[in-house]
Amino acid sequence: MPDSIIAKHAIELAKELGISSTADAIIAAATCILLYFISTPIYHLFLSPLARVPGPRLNAISNIPLNRAVLAGNYHLYSRQMHEKYGPVVRLAPNKVSTSNTSDTRTILATHAFRKSQFYDQGKLILPSLFSTTDPETNKVRRRQLGNAFAMHTIRSMEDLVIQDGAWSLVKHWRALAESGGANNGWARANYYQGFHSIAIDVIGALGFGHSFGILQSGNAEIISWINDALKMSSIRSSYPITKHIPWMFKKYKRGEQQLISFVKSTVAERRKLIQETGKPPREDILQRFIEAVDPATGQKITEDELHTEIILLNNAGTDTTSHTLSWTLMYLLHYPDIHRRVCKDIRSAFPDHSAPIRYDEAKSLPYLTAVIYESLRMMPSVSGLLPRVVPSGGFELGGYHIPGKSEICLAFAACQRNSEMWDEPNRFKPERFLGPHADQRMREVMAFSSGVRVCIGRNLAWVELYTVLANILREFDMRVPEDSEYGPQRKNEIGEPAEIPGAAFITCGPRNPKVDCWIDIRRHSSAV
């Protein structure tokens, strides 16, 4: 409607209401605003279809408590505490609820009916990526275009690279470190978070950028800081989209994002140049599969902007997720020495020859190692940020509450996997739950990689990394928590279990203070020297 017509109608309305002076107009506007601020909370608290859903009253009227938890990196704890206090369905914000019920979560994830919310799109850098797109069609096309790059047979064909720049690189690095440990009765000190984080990025370098970044050896932190900046900025933009329009806000993170984009563009340009010069790809890796990506259903090729977007995503989705899982797994082993001893014994007796790396198939054949990894993924799923889905029109029955269309349901893998209705002693690290006749069923109930149509597309690569890194370092090294460590087997939490080191969840959840809490003493095991 043209502005002049709106103005005419406004004047007529003002006349009908008897508003003739500026003072009257100000009073009327103030009254409207006041009414709005009084009536909105009343609506959310008592009249909204979500009014019956349990949760704190403040959350029912405001997004602030939830946003504060998300921005402080506490969502993984916050959602668990909310569910422990209020039950399987909780109202987290005026328009958002969360569920800790695995079966409902699976139903929500099974199809594209529950779309990812705008929260994802707002975090985007160049274009919406395979991960962030809220549009089912874009996601389907992209998954068809890139699915082959992540298929198990493709990842297996790259296993040598994954081991060389991942597990074996870390073994060699720590061996050299252990040799320097003579002065301390053979024990040397290493930061395991830094080791895992470096190799996770080096593996993505090897597969997605044409060469390892060599971060483990050089400690070059540039690319790490760009990735961290991009991840933080994406999280901030998702909660506060306005920040992208204010150039001076979060300048450092925005600069990091731009550097990451330039780096990705130059990587692609370099690969294309090499192909042009030699007439063939220099190697078969994920970068090559991405460049050649075609949708087998329609023949649609990936565009240049889409390509850059997805390579950036490789860094964001494929590094912290894996390295955090490795860090949590090792932390649990260090905190539970009996479990640590048992898993090492299994690995060392199955693969006594230290001269060659243990490969994925070999490591995977060990039931106790498998149980340890699943238990770690259950206790601390590394993707534990806010993962909101939009309820389709028609609504959804969730745990006895009608959730109307357009509301959002936040997935809470961390809360699902510590739900006492599903898991016996949920807050205790107990790999045995994944052994025995019901092991397969229990493993299927772990949702750390999500499920359904938007299940993690990179999980095959993640599994190869998790198994090979853990099997090789646990075989090679004795490890213990340093004596001066604040956390370890001796420090118990309120239920008498070893306290976890504090975590921080910015979409992925990792150790909050790795430079303080993630040290270990290592030495080569007697069978390795």
* Interacting residue ranges for ligand HEM, rule: CB under 6 A: 130-131, 139, 143, 313-314, 317-318, 321-322, 325, 382-383, 387, 448-450, 454, 456-459, 461-462
* Minimum distance of ligand HEM from residue 518's CB (angstroms): 17
* Minimum distance of ligand HEM from residue 143's CB (angstroms): 6
* Minimum distance of ligand HEM from residue 204's CB (angstroms): 6
Q: Which amino acid is at 98?
A: S
What dihedral do alpha carbons 309, 310, 313, 318 form, nearest 10°? Answer: -160
* Minimum distance of ligand HEM from residue 421's CB (angstroms): 21
Q: Which CB, 44 or 389, lies closer to ligand HEM? A: 389
Backbone conformation region of residue 185, classed left if phi is above 0, alpha if psi is from -120 to 50, else beta: left
Query: Dihedral of CA 491/493/494/497: which sign?
Result: negative
DSSP annotation of 18: T
* Minimum distance of ligand HEM from residue 72's CB (angstroms): 20
Q: Which CB, 160 or 486, lies closer to ligand HEM? A: 160
DSSP annotation of 181: G
Single out the residue of 388, 382, 427 nearest to residue 99, CA to CA: 388
How many helices and strands, by DSSP H and E, does the chain display?
25, 12
H or E stretch at 523: strand 519-524
Residue 260 CA to residue 492 CA, distance in Å, equals 41
Concatenating the DSSP letter of every residue in 478-508 gives EEE--TT-SSSTT-B-TTSSBPPPPEEEESE
Q: Which CB, 141 or 522, lies closer to ligand HEM? A: 141
Residue 239 CA to residue 118 CA, distance in Å, equals 10
- Is 416 annotated in a binding site? The answer is no
Intra-chain end-to-end CA distance of the chain, in Å = 81
Q: Which CB, 86 or 120, lies closer to ligand HEM? A: 120
Q: Which CB, 59 or 323, lies closer to ligand HEM? A: 323
Whole-number Cα distances in Å, 75 to 80, 98, 119: 8, 12, 15
* Minimum distance of ligand HEM from residue 174's CB (angstroms): 21
Q: Which CB, 344 or 448, lies closer to ligand HEM? A: 448
* Minimum distance of ligand HEM from residue 243's CB (angstroms): 21
Residue 103 CA to residue 267 CA, distance in Å, equals 43
Q: Which CB, 48 or 145, lies closer to ligand HEM? A: 145
* Minimum distance of ligand HEM from residue 94's CB (angstroms): 22
Q: Which residue is nearest to ligand HEM (CB)?
A: 458
Whole-number Cα distances in Å, 135 to 118, 210, 371, 454: 10, 30, 36, 12
Q: Which amino acid is at 175?
A: R
Q: Which CB, 169 or 325, lies closer to ligand HEM? A: 325
Indicate the annotated binding residues for heme. 456
Indicate the annotated binding residues. 456
